[in-house]
Amino acid sequence: LEAMRHSHKIVEAIFLEAPAAADIGLRANVSRVDVDGSLVRAYVTNDADGVASAFAGRGARSARIIDRTLEDLFLAATTERTR
């Protein structure tokens, strides 16, 4: 879990308008994207800065990188092992 804590992050971005799913630009390191109006949360493994930059390039007003909770990391670890 310690290694995952450093690589698994959430990139949260706020757009002026709700982006279309195709405009978010999923990358290989994005495991999930949640869109709630103009708020987008991308669950990433590695290169959170790159995802934040991609959001900025698509017009995000702001973007921040958030650590995932221990529960979230545990669920991610068990999901990866069962694939």
Q: How confident is the model at residue 3, as a pLDDT?
A: 80
pLDDT grade for 11, boundaries at 50, 70 and 90: very high
Q: What is the pTM of this model?
A: 0.81
CA distance 33 to 21: 9
Mean pLDDT, range 54-77, rounded to an integer: 89
Q: Please state, in angstroms and as integers, the Cα–Cα distance from residue 57 to each residue in 9, 40, 44, 65, 72, following that order.
A: 19, 14, 17, 16, 28
Given a cut of 80, is residue 21 above it in pLDDT? no
pLDDT over threshold 70, residue 48:
yes
Task: State the number of CA atoms in the 13 A half-sphere of 55 facing the CB.
Answer: 32
